Every structure is written in C-alpha cells, then in structure tokens.
Amino acid sequence: MEKMIQITSGRGPAECDWVVAQVLKRLLVEAEEMKLETEVLHREGGQENGTVVSAIVSIKGKKADDFVTSWIGTIQWIGQSTIRKFHKRKNWFIGIFEIHSGNKVAIDEKDIQYQAMRSSGAGGQHVNKVSSAIRATHIPTGVAVVSMDSRSQHQNKKLATERLFQKLLEYEKVQMQQQFQDVWMNQMQIERGNPIRIFEGTDFKSDRRIKNFKKERQQLKSNLKSQLWNE
C-alpha cells in the first residue's frame, strides 16, 4: 500500500515553517520504527534556516494506511517562537493532508481494446464498403481515439495506437495538474484548533499523540445504554 501526504504551514509565519520541519523529522522517524518505506518527493524550504514551508512524502508498507490516519489533520505546537524571541504568541498550527493523486498511467498494449468500424466522410467509392477505421480504447482510463486516415485497417490500427499513447500522456498531465491544484488548496484549509497531535517546547515533546475520540465513544455508548434502560 502506498499513501502520499503533504505537510504544510498553510502560508503561516516562519514559526509554522519551523514546526513543519520538526514534524517532518518526527514523522520520518516514526515511519522507520514501523518499518515503512518513505520518500520525500518535494520539499520547499522556508526563508529561515532549518525551516520548511511544505513537504510531500510518499509512504509505503502494510501499515501505511493506519500510520497516515494517525497524522492527518491539524498539528499544534505550543512554545515560544524560535525566530522572534519576544513574540507573545505560543500556539502555532500546521496541517497534514492526504494527496489523492492519479498514478502514472501504465501504457500497455494489453490494456487497449481495438474495434473495427466503417469510415465516414470523403474518401472515394470504397470508403464505406470496408470496416477499415479503428477505434482504440484504453480500458483502465476509458480514453479513446479513432483513426480512419488510411484504407488499410492495419495502418489505421498503428495510427490509432500512436494517437492513444499521445492522448494518455496528455491525460496524465491533466491528472498531475489536478494534484498540484489540490496541494495549493491545502495551503488555505488548515483548521486552527481541534489538533490531532500536540507538541511542546523546543525539544518538541509530544503532549498528546493521537486523538482517537475514545472518551467520546465511551460517552456515546453510556448514553445509549441509559436510553435503552429507560425505555
């Protein structure tokens, strides 16, 4: 299983960029402890040394889903600014988002379905008598093209395949553009509050690791039992 996440300061101040850098380090260490494979696909450094505005990380392994779930959401750091010594603010927030990107399209002729069809339009008296045109469809994506340039079905099949490959490359480009758009939108959607993890101090100690809503679930069960008993 492979997951991809973005850690971002959400266009916050330099202190948030520092928090991103610390969270990235902590996340990579925890992933290694869980024997997960990680790769930092993109890292945008901040203006201050040792800070990171945004990082995109690929996480692979059997427990990747549970690991990512334990990190997705708002991360809060409580501490004095490491950059502005006399700044009064002590609560800083960053966000971690899962990126649902389109994977690279695997271009394999085994995934292409060919359909013969009659040509249409100008082309002489023989154009509609033979099913020489070819429709090529990439089954996994549904992308399709038609070639009717030649009277030869074999030649049209070759042309259709070439055009399909080109169209699949364009399709992949659109998917990548959507991914980058999603990343940009993440910069604007950090919730200031309700953190899933809280860290404190310059040593970045964990105050509350994972918010699993255990107390809330127990309270709901208790309320449900009370309602059933009263009935």
Q: Is the pLDDT of residue 224 over 90?
A: no
Residue 131 has pLDDT above 50, yes or no: yes
By percentage, how much of the chain surpasses pLDDT 90? 38
pLDDT single digits (tens) 156-207:
988 988 888 888 877 776 766 666 666 666 666 677 778 999 999 888 887 6
Percent of the chain with pLDDT over 70: 74
* Partners of 54 in the β-ladder: 8, 44
Cβ distance 168 to 143 under 8 Å?
yes
Residues 142-155 have a mean pLDDT of: 88
pLDDT in tens, 33-77: 999 999 998 899 999 999 999 998 999 999 999 999 999 999 999
Q: The dihedral of CA 211, 98, 51, 34: what is its sign?
A: positive
For residues 88 and 79, give the distance between their C-alpha atoms in angstroms, rounded to a whole number: 10
- What is the pTM (predicted TM-score) of this model? 0.60
199 vs 210, higher pLDDT: 199
Q: Model confidence at 86, in pLDDT bands (50, 70, 90)?
A: confident
Q: What is the CA radius of gyration of the chain?
A: 27
Note whether 201 and 18 are within 8 A (CB): no
Cα–Cα separations (whole angstroms), residue 156 to 95, 124, 143, 218: 51, 17, 17, 66
pLDDT of residue 227: 54
Question: Which of 94-103, 162-171, 208-217 ranks highest by mean pLDDT?
Answer: 162-171
